[in-house]
């Protein structure tokens, strides 16, 4: 395209949102003209899968509840054998990013359509991206064919999220939206998504932390996470996601917790170089964005610093060197000393 011309490809087709939406899975399976549904999940979603299999009746042909973080290829191969033996013609997934990752990995190998029912705020269900690991090494592919056909957000499924997961997963979603505000390829469209995601998540999260069964606030958080996932799909992420990948991959760290603790530090690092993002975020949160993010992150009862995750301090510089050698596009300069300083503060 000509210089200065923006291009947008809008992602995922069909999204259902609201309490009880999970009970629509059978009609969504019908809508895809599928007749044999195989359900994948993490163990946390087992009783929702029981309910869904009962709802599907004779259309249910199998289940696999062993999805785990980072989509290891050996787990995919184990599930794939069952899917092929069942002669399934659609994958249904219940769970967080781990279940969605497994669903995408199976779809990538079979071409099967997907109905994804997310139980966290990770956002993977609306991105055309799949990260897989084999013997600890991660490969990532991006292909519109990976996008689930139907996404079903039912906030009732998030009521069981423990406080720590609620907080860190919501901050993981916020990170997608915050990075979209300073993305090199941001546009009016992604700015609108990001601003609404940031304001709904920062408003709803304190309500949910105070009252974890507040279904309306849980619903607002889930829809904010949806928009944040769209930000992840539609803009190029910067230093925050690069650091999360580099640290997460090197030390096998918990995904959402790592995002949660890094976000205030990267935001403080980037905003001086991103005045438009600062203005947008300030308007969205009605206060100093760095302070708001730091106050939210400080409410976590678990790891709040890299040292709490057993990251060795003397390894930080090597991470900064890797990141600075091939930086993602980022508003503030990415050099070894500055990034080491940022990591030291997060440590």
Per CB under 6 A, residues contacting ligand NAD are 42-44, 69-70, 95-99, 101, 119-120, 122-124, 127, 129-131, 157-158, 160-161, 165, 169, 172, 232, 255-256
Task: Give the nearer residue to ligand NAD in terms of CB position, either 178 or 290.
Answer: 178
Question: Rounded to the nearest whole angstrom, what is the least distance from the CB of residue 290 to ligand NAD in the complex?
Answer: 23
Instruction: Say which DSSP state 72 is in.
Output: B
Question: Rounded to the nearest whole angstrom, what is the least distance from the CB of residue 189 to ligand NAD in the complex?
Answer: 19
Taking each helix axis from N to C end, the angle separating 336-346 and 239-251, rounded to the nearest 10 degrees, works out to 70
Task: Give the nearer residue to ligand NAD in terms of CB position, either 106 or 161.
Answer: 161
Strand partners, 94: 41, 117
Instruction: State how far Cα 74 lies from the chain centre.
Output: 22
Question: Rounded to the nearest whole angstrom, what is the least distance from the CB of residue 304 to ligand NAD in the complex?
Answer: 17
C-alpha span between 30 and 20 (Å, rounded): 18
C-alpha span between 246 and 257 (Å, rounded): 14
Question: Rounded to the nearest whole angstrom, what is the least distance from the CB of residue 211 to ligand NAD in the complex?
Answer: 17
Q: Which two tokens stand for residue 147?
A: 């996008």
Within a 13 Å sphere around the CA of 56, how many CA atoms are in the beta-carbon half? 26
> What does 166-210 look like in DSSP terms, one character per residue?
HHHHHHHHHHHHHHHHT-TT--HHHHHHHHHHHHHHHHHHHHHHH
C-alpha span between 95 and 92 (Å, rounded): 10
Strand partners, 140: 131
C-alpha span between 256 and 242 (Å, rounded): 14
Task: Give the nearer residue to ligand NAD in terms of CB position, either 70 or 304.
Answer: 70
Instruction: Say which DSSP state 1 is in.
Output: -
Task: Give the nearer residue to ligand NAD in terms of CB position, either 49 or 122.
Answer: 122
Question: Rounded to the nearest whole angstrom, what is the least distance from the CB of residue 124 to ligand NAD in the complex?
Answer: 3
Helix (H/G/I), strand (E/B), else coil: 16:
strand
Question: Rounded to the nearest whole angstrom, what is the least distance from the CB of residue 113 to ligand NAD in the complex?
Answer: 18
C-alpha span between 293 and 267 (Å, rounded): 9
Task: Give the nearer residue to ligand NAD in terms of CB position, either 127 or 199.
Answer: 127
Q: In what order do the strands lie in the sheet with 14-17?
A: 14-17, 150-153, 114-118, 90-95, 37-41, 60-64
Question: Rounded to the nearest whole angstrom, what is the least distance from the CB of residue 256 to ligand NAD in the complex?
Answer: 4
Q: Which two tokens stand for residue 85?
A: 């033996």
C-alpha span between 83 and 63 (Å, rounded): 8
Rounded to the nearest 10 degrees, how much is the dihedral formed by the CA atoms of 319, 244, 160, 299? 80
Question: Rounded to the nearest whole angstrom, what is the least distance from the CB of residue 127 to ligand NAD in the complex?
Answer: 3
Task: Give the nearer residue to ligand NAD in terms of CB position, either 23 or 70.
Answer: 70
Question: Rounded to the nearest whole angstrom, what is the least distance from the CB of residue 125 to ligand NAD in the complex?
Answer: 8
What residue number has its CB nearest to ligand NAD?
97
């Amino acid at each position: 395209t000509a210089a200065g011309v923006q291009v947008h490809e809008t992602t995922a087709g069909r999204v259902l949102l609201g309490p009880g939406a999970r009970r629509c899975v059978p009609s969504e399976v019908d809508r895809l003209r599928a007749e044999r549904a195989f359900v994948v999940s993490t163990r946390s979603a087992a009783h929702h899968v029981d309910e869904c299999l009962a709802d599907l009746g004779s259309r249910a042909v199998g289940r696999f509840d062993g999805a785990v973080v980072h989509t290891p290829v050996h787990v995919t191969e184990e599930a794939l054998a069952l899917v092929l033996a069942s002669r399934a013609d659609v994958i249904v997934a219940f769970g967080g990013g781990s279940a969605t990752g497994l669903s995408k990995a199976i779809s990538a190998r079979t071409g099967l359509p997907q109905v994804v029912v997310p139980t966290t705020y990770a956002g993977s269900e609306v991105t055309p991206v799949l990260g897989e690991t084999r013997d600890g090494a991660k490969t990532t592919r991006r292909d519109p064919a990976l996008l689930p056909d139907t996404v079903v957000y039912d906030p009732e499924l998030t009521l069981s999220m423990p406080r720590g997961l609620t907080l860190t997963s919501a901050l993981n979603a916020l990170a997608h939206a915050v990075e979209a505000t300073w993305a090199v390829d941001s546009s009016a469209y992604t700015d609108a998504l990001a601003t609404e995601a940031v304001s709904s998540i920062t408003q709803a999260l304190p309500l949910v932390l105070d009252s974890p069964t507040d279904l309306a606030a849980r619903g607002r958080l889930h829809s904010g996470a949806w928009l944040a996932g769209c930000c992840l799909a539609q803009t190029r992420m910067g230093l925050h996601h690069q650091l999360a990948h580099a640290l997460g991959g090197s030390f096998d760290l918990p995904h959402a917790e790592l995002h949660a603790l890094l976000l205030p530090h990267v935001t403080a690092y980037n905003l001086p170089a991103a005045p438009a993002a600062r203005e947008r975020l300030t308007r969205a949160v009605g206060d100093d964005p760095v302070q708001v993010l730091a106050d939210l992150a400080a409410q976590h009862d678990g790891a709040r610093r890299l040292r709490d995750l057993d990251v060795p301090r003397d390894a930080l510089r090597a991470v900064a060197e890797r990141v600075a050698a091939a930086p993602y596009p980022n508003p503030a300069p990415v050099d070894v000393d500055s990034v080491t300083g940022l990591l030291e503060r997060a440590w």
